């Protein structure tokens, strides 16, 4: 191919751009929905296809294949779509959210993603009740895009990070703000049981660098922004995490919440909608036995 001298810089720039986004856009028109569900008191994995779920003999990110069995989607109880060994999360990853947090307003944008941990036992599925913990006073929603790791990742370069992402799902990084402000670490504030709703499915083939995240509280839209506005994109985050801990298939990373969060109370219904994935819905309930 002959490139004229004046156009060479532009062509090189376009090639670099396309390479950086290849993994995110590959098969973007050919999505697959993976779910985890309860049938006959047993948790199973499957592929959601229309009104049917085709059973797999294990999670797809660990090589699961179809068993030949299927079930109607209406007959299955969907669970959190993954059972991670690690739940890692990024804070303050949208300018819009940093501006809403008074203690971060004057801080410079960090060069690396600010990380914290949630606990695997914080994970719960769609349509489950989330108890308002005893002693809590300021429980907030945080709608987020969550990435699911597809293969063991250690010391991964940013340019290679897309090779280690299986797919994405919707998540709610529920946070107790008073505990977050006053505790030594965010152990209670972020890691309490059921503070990590996830689902309804893990979807492959989406351009996760540009997916819209919306949060609705009792039907009112509270958050609405795309992952294209991440301060640190998904590839940067995965690469950075992998420099310090080994990620395994099925591990997840919450990638940050946009805009303002808000308080929830018992009786509230919160919905996190991630473009291409669907709606994750949970109800906040009282933990006090009447």
Quick one: pLDDT band at residue 109, thresholds 50, 70, 90? confident
Domain range list for the chain = 5-78, 87-286
* Residues 167-225: tens digit of each pLDDT: 999 999 999 999 999 999 999 999 999 999 999 999 999 999 999 999 999 999 999 99
Query: CATH second-level architecture of 87-286?
Result: Alpha-Beta Complex (3.90)
Report in angstroms the alpha-carbon separations of 274 from 18, 68, 225. 24, 30, 10
234-242 helix and 5-25 helix, angle to the nearest 10 degrees:
70
Q: Tell me 263's DSSP state.
A: E
Q: Report the predicted TM-score, pTM, of the whole model to 2 decimal places.
A: 0.88
Asked whether the beta carbons of 244 and 113 are under 8 A apart, the reply is: no
Closest to 165 in 3D by CA, of 117, 235, 212, 115: 235
In 139-227 the beta strands, taken as DSSP E runs, fall at: 139-140, 143-149, 165-172, 175-176, 196-204, 212-217, 220-226
């Amino acid at each position: 191919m002959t490139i004229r001298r004046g156009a060479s810089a532009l062509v090189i720039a376009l090639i670099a751009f396309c390479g950086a986004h290849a993994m995110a856009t590959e098969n973007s028109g050919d999505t697959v929905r993976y779910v985890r569900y309860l049938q006959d008191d047993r948790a199973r994995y499957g592929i959601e296809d229309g009104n049917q779920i085709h059973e797999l003999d294990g999670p797809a990110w660990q090589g699961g294949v179809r068993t030949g069995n299927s079930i109607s989607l209406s007959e299955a109880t969907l669970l959190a779509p993954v059972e991670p060994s690690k739940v890692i999360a990024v804070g303050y990853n949208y300018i819009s959210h940093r501006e809403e947090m008074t203690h971060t307003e004057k801080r410079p944008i960090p060069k690396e993603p600010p990380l914290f941990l949630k606990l695997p036992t914080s994970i719960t599925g769609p349509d489950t009740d989330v108890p308002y913990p005893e002693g809590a006073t300021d429980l907030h929603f945080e709608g987020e895009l969550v990435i699911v790791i597809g293969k063991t990742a250690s010391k991964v370069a940013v340019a290679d990070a897309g090779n280690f992402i299986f797919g994405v799902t919707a998540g709610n990084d529920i946070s107790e703000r008073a505990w977050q402000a006053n505790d030594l670490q965010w152990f209670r504030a972020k890691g309490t049981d059921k503070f990590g709703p996830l689902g309804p499915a893990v979807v492959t083939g989406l351009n996760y660098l540009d997916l819209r995240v919306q949060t609705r509280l009792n039907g009112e839209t509270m958050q609405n922004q795309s992952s294209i506005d991440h301060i640190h994109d998904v590839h940067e985050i995965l690469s950075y995490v992998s420099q310090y801990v080994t990620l395994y298939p099925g591990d997840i990373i919450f990638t940050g919440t946009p805009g303002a969060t808000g308080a929830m109370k018992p009786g509230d219904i919160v919905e996190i909608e991630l473009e291409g994935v669907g709606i994750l819905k949970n109800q906040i309930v009282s933990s006090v036995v009447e």
